[in-house]
Amino acid sequence: MSSASRSRSGGVPLDRRVAVALSIAGASLFVLPIAGLLIRAPWSRAGDVVSDPVTFDALRLSLVVSFAALILSFLIAIPLSWLLARNEFPGRALLRGLVAVPMVLPPVVGGVALLEAFGRRGLVGGLLDDAGVILSLSTAGATVAAAFVAAPFLVFALEAGYGAVDRRLEEAAATLGARPGRIFRTITFPALRPAIVAGGALCWARAFGEFGATITFAGNLQGRTQTMPLAVFQMLQNDPGAAVVMAVLPLVVSIGLLVLVRRRLVIG
Amino acid sequence: MTSLRARVELDAESFHLSGRLDVDGRRTVALLGPNGSGKTTFVRSLAGLIDVPDGKIEVDGLSWLDRPGGVDLPPQQRSVGVVFQDLSLFPHMSAAANVAYGLRSRGASRHGSERAAIAWLARFGSEHLAGRLARSLSGGEAQKVALARALILEPRLLLLDEPLASLDVESRADARHFLASALRDFEGVKIIVTHDPVEAFALADGLAIMEAGRIVQVGAPSEIGLRPRSRYAARVAGVNLLRGTLSERDGISILTAGDAEIVVLAEGVPPGDEVFATFPANAVTLSSGRPHGSARNVFPVTVGRVESEGGRARVALRGRVPMTAEVTTRSVDELGVRTGTEMWAAIKATEIQVYPA
């Protein structure tokens, strides 16, 4: 009898108290830095920092680059995730492994790799040059760097999403005369939506916070490649107080997005 | 003229499927077989949902499949309606949108299809469900929506894969009754997949018995009841089945099945032939000691499973001639029939039907 009531509460009472204590200790790892940022920021200088064109450029560029990277990631992830989730072919495991590489690679190394491929002296840099596409020291380059590190999150989220799509519903639609395009639009896509929202949020957040690959591949040029993290990093070396105030901005933007998609993330 | 001619050969995961089925007229054929015998695979191949490397499917004289080479219409171009085992309603759409889906896929206007869908739901007394999300429907409601969705395009071939399997026991009888009347009005060929003989006899005017990937017998229910050609068909018909060779000795016909010899009356079947022999379970008499009566077919047996229901008991018997006996529960008590008991079983020769294998 007593053992049944204990198991209903998820374990013996002592266990739960220990778990709560450990959780609070663990959560402080996330909460304290944010509190530190908010408490220690020299708020009297907020006006100067916000009106500084460097800040404005960086914030604008961060939004442009992160959303452009999100779009680029969708262009990559939609066909790739379909290929991985719905097709049997030799080398599928290898392809999946290759897609995962940017997730485990130190971003700076990723930036170096991007230089060797798409830089002016890179493998295909010359071809891109001839086509008029210049990635190094350009906003396009910063976008590519952000998508390089962020797209795999979307690919894997969508691939997992396909696993949650009921194939039998697609078959039912086919017997009712729906062509593949209509099946995708009316059956597959609605079932994929939670994965699209969750994966998209994760992908955008990774792109928004991207630092290493961007600074290595695209450089640190105000108004062209200097996104918020790069600007904060540079400011930290010249004017640490202003850097702390500046750092609050991306924090607000990130938390804003999190609140916006929170319900979807929980449901998805 | 409504007709289906189908021959399908394919390798499924655990068996080779070899199905041949011809249906003429607006008939309902029950595809009956044990679980895993390939029934679902067969109807999926008719709908075009499975790749068939070898076979022919013709519906109303129109070729849907002719392989290898030649025709293989995708499901979209086959005039087929399917009620899937789990119904497979689109959960995020309303009942009306589910029913209207086929018309919309064929380019009909939103308004027109919606109206036609509600009319179809009304035919099944379900127009009040039109606005409900499919995922919120009960089993019986969902079944009607699924049937309306499959019928709205007036397909030439209607496939129902275990249409009652998703229902609980209470609503099953109602749903079976509804289904039987709905199917009567439908003009095309109907195939119902089921593993439940009660369902098959209630809904179909023809049976196709499927076992281990093969359609082993096709015929009217009464014909299969009288002359089953497989152990499964015999069990469905509620009779015992033996297979053996017929011989004649001193003017008496003897069936040799395994190492048992059984005296039979074989009128019109020449000796030397492979034959089937059936006898009803209630033609078997049980006794504790060796009987001295007129029955010549007397075998020592060991009692297996005993199942009683409503004053009768079905007793599985092991021995040289494995069989099932049906006796009264009173004689079960009097004779002390229990699993493991050694007894004698007698079958009257006049009760045994013999026909060529």
Nearest chain B residue to A191, by CA: B92
The topology (CATH level 3) of A46-267 is: MetI-like fold (1.10.3720)
Out of A171, A176, A179, the one facing B101 most closely (by C-beta) is: A176
Q: Exposed, middle or buried: residue B305 (CB in 10 Å: 0-12, 13-18, 19+)?
A: exposed
Of the listed ranges A110-124, A221-235, B10-24, B133-147, the least confidently predicted one is B10-24
Same domain, B60 and B152: yes
Q: B258 falls in which pLDDT band (50, 70, 90)?
A: confident
Read off the CATH number of the domain in which B245 is found.
Answer: 2.40.50.100
Boundary residue ending a domain (B178, B208, B232): B232
**What mean pLDDT comes out for the span A62-86?**
95
Q: A15 falls in which pLDDT band (50, 70, 90)?
A: confident
Of the listed ranges A125-134, A246-255, B158-167, the least confidently predicted one is A125-134
Q: What are the helix (H) ranges across chain B?
A: 39-47, 95-105, 110-123, 139-151, 169-184, 197-203, 221-226, 231-237, 329-335
Same domain, B35 and B146: yes
Nearest chain A residue to B47, by CA: A175
Best probe of the B interface among A88, A169, A176, by most B CBs < 10 A, is A176
Name which residue leads in pLDDT, B24 or A160: A160
Boundary residue ending a domain (B185, B215, B232): B232
Domain count, chain B: 2
Query: By the CB < 8 Å criterion, does B149 face chain A?
Result: yes
Per-range mean pLDDT, top range of A188-197, A254-263, B24-33, B218-227? A188-197
**What mean pLDDT comes out for the span A242-251?**
92
Measure the N-to-C terminal CA separation of chain B; round to a whole number of Å: 33
Condensed to tens digits (0 to 9), the pLDDT of residues A112-166 reads 999 999 988 888 888 888 888 888 889 999 999 999 999 999 999 999 999 889 9
CB B225 within 8 A of CB B219: no
- B105 vs A contacts (CB less than 8 Å): 173, 176-179, 182
Best probe of the A interface among B80, B89, B92, by most A CBs < 10 A, is B92
**What mean pLDDT comes out for the span B105-130?**
93
- B92 vs A contacts (CB less than 8 Å): 190-191
Nearest chain B residue to A187, by CA: B90
Residue A1 confidence (pLDDT): 41
Q: CB atoms < 10 A from the CB of A238, how many? A: 8
Nearest-neighbour CA in chain B from A266: distance (Å): 19
Residue A133 confidence (pLDDT): 84
Q: Name residues whose C-beta falls within 8 Å of residue A113's C-beta, 6 or more positions apart in sequence.
A: A105
Nearest chain B residue to A189, by CA: B92
What is the extent of the structural domain holding B324? 238-356
Residue in B98, B82, B6, B79 with CA at minimum distance from that of residue B44? B82
**What mean pLDDT comes out for the span A83-98?**
94
Boundary residue ending a domain (B207, B232, B257): B232
Condensed to tens digits (0 to 9), the pLDDT of residues A177-211 reads 999 999 999 999 999 999 999 999 999 999 999 99
Give contacts of A 169-198 with B, CB under 8 A. Answer: 169, 171-179, 182, 186-187, 190-191
Residue A5 confidence (pLDDT): 44
* Tokens found for residue B167: 């229902």
Read off the CATH number of the domain in which B19 is found.
Answer: 3.40.50.300
Query: By the CB < 8 Å criterion, does B178 face chain A?
Result: no
Residue B48 confidence (pLDDT): 94
Per-range mean pLDDT, top range of A97-106, B217-226, B316-325? A97-106
- At residue B156, the 3 state secondary structure works out as coil
Q: B295 falls in which pLDDT band (50, 70, 90)?
A: low
* DSSP assignment string, B126-145: -GGGTTSBGGG--HHHHHHH
Alpha carbon of residue A83 to chain centroid: 21
Same domain, B61 and B150: yes
B224 within a domain of the structure (yes/no): yes
Q: What is the pTM of this model?
A: 0.79
Q: Name residues whose C-beta falls within 8 Å of residue B54's C-beta, 6 or more positions apart in sequence.
A: B8, B9, B10, B67, B68
Residue B252 confidence (pLDDT): 84
Q: B186 falls in which pLDDT band (50, 70, 90)?
A: confident
∠ at Cα A238 (A233, A239), nearest 5°? Answer: 90
